[in-house]
Amino acid sequence: MSISSSRDDNVEVMMPGVDKGSALKFLADRLGIPRSKVMAFGDNTNDLPMLNFAGVSVAMENGEPEVRSAAKWIAPHHAMGGVGKLLYERVLT
């Protein structure tokens, strides 16, 4: 099994080889969306496989240092509406 955690008070248990990256790849393939057009947001190390798959990886400002280092872009803190702000500034305008 594959085990990860995003907080001190939870454990995520999945089948071997299953993680957020493989799930995002499955969804993108199923919808016919090329990897280069996939954007993913993350803040914790369990998000790294997803960010590594995405053509555009975004870490939250309040995310773990390892996650921020792996991302192409950094969004403002989640409590400040960071996802919406980044989408507005980088995608919609």
Average pLDDT, consecutive stretches of 10 residues, N- to C-terminus, the chain (93 residues): 76 85 97 98 94 98 96 96 96 92
pTM given for the model: 0.87
- Domains of the chain listed by start with CATH number: 2-92 (3.40.50.1000)
Structure tokens given for 81:
């509406």
Regarding beta strands 39-42 and 56-60, do their DSSP bridges make them parallel or antiparallel, or are they unpaired?
parallel
Q: What is residue 12's predicted lDDT score, i.e. its pLDDT?
A: 80
Helical spans, DSSP H, in 1-93:
20-31, 48-53, 65-70, 82-86
pLDDT at 69: 97
